[in-house]
Structure 1
Amino acid sequence: MRKCFFTLIIFSSSIICSAQQSFKVIPLGIYGGGEESNLSSYMAAPANSENYVNFDAGTLRSGIEKAIKKGNFKGKSALQVIQENIKGYLISHAHLDHASGLILNSPDDTKKSIYALPSVAEILTDKYFSWKSWANFTDSGEVPHLNKYSIINLDAGKEIPMPNTDMYVTAFPLSHVKPYESTAFLVRHNSDYLLYLGDTGSDSIEQSNMLQNLWKQIAPYVNNQQLKGILIEVSFPNEQPDKSLFGHLTPKLLQSELNILNSYCQPEKLQQVPIIITHLKPVDNNIERIKKQLKEQNTLGVKYIFPVQGKKIDL
């Protein structure tokens, strides 16, 4: 009888642990420039699925090769993962450290969708997939269209499904040096959410309310423990002058923004949401300084995660 009871406890615990995991994120690129084989790019899928979307695509193939070496996508090549597992691209903005992997791998890719705000999609088709700089693999912009990628123009604040993923996405505009528009993507699977922010300046520097509006939108999901993670950039250490931020965050500015988000949340709820730090700029000793400053100024007691290229994060 005792043996049966012990087995039941172990089985029940495994169910509980499995139920707690909602998403998996595989970083293909974690830096905000400089190292071309490691630029902003994150695959994300429901925990029990192999059908991913990509948050940005600065690096693809070399990042997937790192992920394979770390035990992901067993039995597949990097190209097979691009062709078969990535079902769409969520492009926050069209700067090359967020889009170059998509462009360079497009000749070998399969048919799928690119999701973006209209201002971002316009840059992709006018400047990159334009026949002047690269073949137009999309269904928009300069003719002829090769129609490999369907451009899905997102309406801010409106949720839409992403076919073949069991996920839905809502876009929110961000300010990345006015008037340039970046994007936050709120992805939903069943009743759970994952938030990814492209490059963004602080509201106080950008003289906007875009982050404040986003925080108000996601606070209920924090309170209900439905938000499983936030991926947000910190590009520079605190010593970077405000005039030289160019629409990016520092540790003190992130702390200020998280304080605002926390003001909309119930006590101690935000501490349960992992904060994944993206887009660190690998210049001099920036990364070590950023990590040290984030830890020293963590007055809210949030859990910071510093992603490693190719290493899966379970959320």
Structure 2
Amino acid sequence: MGEGVEQPALQVIVLGAGGGPKEDNVTAFLVRSTAAGWKKGSLLAVDAGVHLAAIARILDGHKSIRTEDSKPPAKPITLVDGPFEGLQIAEGSSPSANAAFITRDLVECFLITHPHLDHISGFVINTASLPSARPKRLAGLPSTIEAFKNHIFNNIIWPNLTDENNGAGLVTYLRLVEGGTPALGDGYIEVSDGLSIKTWSVSHGHCIERHNHRGSNAGSGFVTSPGVEASPRLNPTSGTMVRSSSQSSRVADDNLRADQYSQRYCVYDSSAYFIRDIATNKEILIYGDVEPDSISYSPRNRQVWADAAPKVASGMLGAIFIECSYDDSRQKELLFGHLTPKYLVEELRVLGNEVKLYINMAKNGPNIKKRKLDGDGNGSFLLPYARRRSTRNESPTSPTSRRENRGYVSSDDGTSERQVNAESHDHGSSPTPVFHVSTEAPLEGVKIVVIHMKEKLDDGPDLGELILKQLKGHEKGQLGCEFIISYTGQSLYF
């Protein structure tokens, strides 16, 4: 780094960038605080669809130097290039042995976004072969932990390697509290040397089976707003698949009542993790698999964006790792809880609006009651938070009315506005903070790292290049963010 250039606070190593179908390139990252260096407990694994083999492949391409010139050769030696630059390893050890050392000694916590196989299989397979002096921590939302207990470490799919239910004791569970624990102040919990995290649950599509089970909106009576084009769903009476066009989905959403969903639909929970460098308070945000709020039965992305907005405005959020599984040619009915470039930019615009709102309130004080949010011409991407105009009669307890009571309203012209709770953002007599972005480019300086692309395995155009082109076409330079396509072996600093 040159003189006067700010040193990076966080490093992310991409072990797996894809979402399948090739099993050797599925979601996995290593995150560390640069201030912590390379030492015991300094690496945080975020998902582990691949793990040990991916680390060994990366190490195989590294160069190294001895720590001193004395003879016989000094031990250890230091890696001088690549993602693990600066790490000291044993002289003469193979990449596999060094990968085992990294996992055994440097990684103590695995932070799992959700329990689908492409996010956990590497961790599960590696664990039994790498016992250490203390158990590995497996951290996630309670729903994720329960899935591991019931469906993975159950002595059927895999031996019970945990310290619960008389298991082998190689893994201990860390159940995270959504939104953080109030007793911890700002809700962040330290999970590795130099790193703390906060988690939010998000939606990863819905189960099409007609039953009521673990999903976060099971029994909640949630139904999408009028005008929202919903994902494919089962007909509640016939059990057949309804593939909705724009018109048919709106009719269905107007006519079907909430209680028709409560016993038939559940939503797969995934997670979004804010990861903070304790030394500098710099952060990144890593999403698990996620669907757009505009077609979700349980939209929860905006709570993440609202939490992210002050961090973006202050310049403390350096990057967002978020999936874009398909290009825009993928039919909406076949997304299965994932994003395309169109929907990813749609979500980023919501984040941009939250940043603008935060900046405007900070500058103008708590008397600002509501501000119009940008849209894509018809405001549809803001749904289901704000209700489009409708002639339907609604009771005070209807889902739409409940949303309005929570502070989301419709303007007379049918566009969407958000009612702001001024008290929760009251800056009092504090001086106006210094912002690192403007309302003209609300995501300036934020890197959007695209992950979880599902390869087509054909001889067509490169999927990453296609997705990048489509993202730029939708964004049109209006948000100011930088898009980065991830790949295995990539090292990113923030």
Q: Using the TM superposition, name which of 143-152 and 167-176 deviates more.
A: 143-152
- TM-score w.r.t. the length of structure 2 is 0.58
1:247-292 superposed Cα distances (whole Å, 9 cap, x missing partner)? 0000000000000100111422412111111000011344342222
The residue type equivalent to 1:290 in the other structure is: I
Which residue matches 2:175?
153
Q: Residue 95 of structure 1 corresponds to which residue in structure 2?
A: 116
Q: Is the 8 A contact 2:15 2:55 kept in 1?
A: yes
- For residue 162 of structure 1, report the CA deviation from its aligned partner: 3.0
**Alpha-carbon distance in structure 1 between the residues aligned to 2:284 and 2:300:** 18
Asked whether 1:278 is paired with 2:366, we answer: no
Q: Separation in 2 of the partners of 1:40 and 1:47?
A: 22
Structure 2 unpaired stretches of 5+: 63-81, 91-97, 181-186, 207-266, 357-438
Q: Which residue of 1 aligns with 2:34?
A: 47
Q: Is the 8 A contact 1:87 1:165 kept in 2?
A: no
2:78 pairs with 1:56 = no
Which residue is 2:474 aligned to?
297
Indicate if the aligned counterparts of 1:235 and 1:281 stay in contact, CA closer than 8 A: yes
Write the deviation string for residues 176-216 of structure 1: whole angstroms up to 9, x where unpaired: 01311000011112321111000000001113331111100
Q: TM-score, normalised by structure 1?
A: 0.90
What is the rounded CA distance, in whole Å, between the counterparts of 1:193 and 1:163 in structure 2?
Answer: 14
In the other structure, the counterpart of 2:8 is 21
Tell me the residue number matched to 2:125: 104
How far 1:112 moved relative to its partner? 2.0
Higher relative contact order (CA 8 A, sep 6+): 1
Tell me, in whole angstroms, the C-alpha distance in 2 between the residues paired with 1:310 and 1:66: 8
Q: Distance in 1 between the 2:148 and 2:468 partners?
A: 33
Runs (4+) of structure 1 exceeding 4 A deviation are: none
Is it true that 1:174 corresponds to 2:202 in the alignment? yes
Q: Deviation of residue 164 (structure 1)? A: 4.0
Distance 2:50 2:30 in 1: 11
Q: Which has the higher helix share?
A: 1
Q: Secondary structure at the match of 1:176?
A: strand
Amino acid at match of 1:100: S
Number of aligned pairs?
A: 300
| Residues in 1 aligned to 2:28 and 2:110: alpha-carbon distance in whole angstroms | 10
User: Contact (CA 8 Å) 1:114, 1:150: kept in 2 or not?
Assistant: yes
CA distance, structure 2, for counterparts of residue 302 and residue 99 of structure 1: 30
Match of 1:6 in 2: none
- Report what 1:124 is aligned to: 148
Counterpart residue type for residue 177 of structure 1: G
Q: Secondary structure at the match of 2:19?
A: coil
Name which one, 1 or 2, has greater alpha-carbon Rg: 2
Unaligned runs of 5+ in 1: 1-9
The answer to which of 161-170 and 81-90 deviates more is: 161-170
What residue is the counterpart of 1:189 in the other structure?
277
Identity %: 29
Q: Is the 8 A contact 1:66 1:309 kept in 2?
A: no
Conservation of the 8 A alpha-carbon contact between 1:67 and 1:310: yes
| In 1: Cα distance, 2:352 partner to 2:188 partner | 27
Equivalent residue number for residue 241 of structure 1: 331
